[in-house]
């Protein structure tokens, strides 16, 4: 990939790790922990110290069945966090996770660098807001809204339909003035997907590379892991890491996770395996290493 997000140029195959900060009372795995702006700021700084490449800040839970939040309330949750992070000189690019054009506009004015829209431009004004700001955009696949999406998880051909609906979202973005070169695509694990469908998407995510854009995947702590293992939400890190590794091996560039340090380690090992499996002419250096850390790997046993 070759994409400027805020002050940083994301170049090469990654993997790049996006750390999640949910300034919400009701997110499915960390609701209430980072609703206070100072707690959200501290969490963003913790994730940066753990090796995140960017952070994703959200003020609305999009878990299945979640009730929508008024846009004013959503903005009230995220804007102070952005202002404080920028005032403190926070160095990483910040993504704003929102479906609302008004929230995106306020967040961009307060220092956000990228819009992560889980609805794939359902708000008719979102494309124009993103185009006017000239920032990159994540278009995620879902159907309906978080309140009703699980009833829409009906597919005759899952991969083909997700790919076609992502292509339609790219066309909506282009019509609003957001060029394809600024777009990242996400299959939306758990959004209008049964656990079995999330597993199939994860297994075949490499096929979505044919859409020609960088891919972002958010497997972190999701229901398909509980479905496969019986693990409660607070105990799904091992399953998350397996999914991270699978994504990296399939060529996914960006991973959205709650626990950054373990994901960075899993992603680096998977990236090295991927590079080692390639013929030298196509392989090159293990992904991400050159951009990180300055000074290479510390000695380790």
- Residue 218 in contact with ligand HH2, rule: CB under 6 A: yes
Query: Which of 45, 53, 123, 186 touches ligand HH2 by CB under 6 A?
Result: 186
206/286 with CB nearer ligand HH2: 206
77-106 residues near ligand HH2, rule: CB under 6 A = 97
Region of 54-62, 84-92, 225-233, 234-242 interacting with ligand HH2 (CB under 6 A)? 54-62
- Residue 29 in contact with ligand HH2, rule: CB under 6 A: yes
CA angle, 209 then 206 then 181, to 5°: 20
Query: Smallest distance, Å, CB 53 to ligand HH2?
Result: 15
Long-range contacts of 174-177 (CB under 8 A, 24+ apart): 175/127, 176/121, 176/126, 176/127, 176/128, 176/130, 176/131, 177/127, 177/128, 177/131, 177/132
Nearest to ligand HH2 by Cβ — which residue? 218
Round to whole Å and give the CA distance between 171 and 154.
Answer: 23
Position of tokens 């995620």? Answer: 140
- Residue 140 in contact with ligand HH2, rule: CB under 6 A: yes
- Residue 20 in contact with ligand HH2, rule: CB under 6 A: yes
Extract the tokens encoding 165: 């609906």
Q: Is 222 a catalytic residue?
A: yes
Round to whole Å and give the CA distance between 291 and 274.
Answer: 18
Contact 99, 117 (CB under 8 A): yes
Q: Are strands 94-97 and 54-58 parallel, antiparallel or unpaired?
A: parallel
Query: Smallest distance, Å, CB 116 to ligand HH2?
Result: 5
DSSP code, position 297: P
110/247 with CB nearer ligand HH2: 247
Residues identified as active-site: 222, 256
Which residues contribute to the site for ligand HH2 (CB under 6 A)?
A: 20, 22, 24, 27-29, 58, 61-63, 97, 116, 118, 138, 140, 186, 188-189, 216, 218, 256
């Amino acid at each position: 990939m070759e994409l400027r997000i805020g002050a940083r140029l994301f170049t090469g195959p990654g993997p790049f790790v996006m750390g999640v900060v949910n300034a919400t009372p009701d997110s499915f795995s960390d609701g209430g922990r980072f609703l206070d702006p100072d707690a959200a700021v501290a969490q963003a700084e913790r994730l940066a110290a753990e090796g995140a490449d960017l952070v994703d800040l959200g003020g609305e839970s999009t878990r299945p069945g979640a009730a929508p939040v008024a846009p004013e309330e959503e903005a009230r949750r995220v804007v102070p966090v952005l202002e404080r992070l920028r005032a403190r000189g926070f160095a990483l690019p910040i993504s704003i996770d929102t479906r609302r054009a008004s929230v995106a506009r306020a967040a961009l004015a307060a220092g956000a660098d990228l819009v992560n829209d889980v609805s794939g431009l359902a708000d008719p004004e979102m494309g124009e807001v993103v185009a006017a700001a000239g920032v990159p955009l994540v278009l995620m696949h879902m159907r309906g809204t978080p309140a009703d999406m699980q009833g829409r998880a009906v597919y005759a051909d899952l991969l083909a339909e997700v790919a076609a609906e992502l292509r339609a979202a790219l066309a909506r973005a282009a019509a609003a003035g957001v060029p394809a070169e600024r777009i990242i695509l996400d299959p939306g694990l758990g959004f209008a997907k049964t656990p079995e469908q999330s597993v199939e998407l994860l297994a075949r995510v490499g096929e979505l590379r044919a859409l020609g854009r960088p891919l972002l995947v958010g497997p972190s702590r999701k229901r398909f892991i509980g479905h496969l293992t019986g693990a409660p939400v607070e105990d799904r890190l091992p399953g998350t890491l397996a999914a991270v590794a699978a994504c990296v091996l399939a060529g996914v560039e960006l991973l959205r996770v709650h626990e950054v340090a373990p994901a960075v380690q899993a992603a680096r090992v998977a990236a090295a395996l991927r590079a080692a499996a390639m013929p030298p002419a196509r392989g090159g250096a293990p992904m991400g290493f050159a951009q990180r850390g300055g000074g290479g790997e510390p000695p380790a046993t």
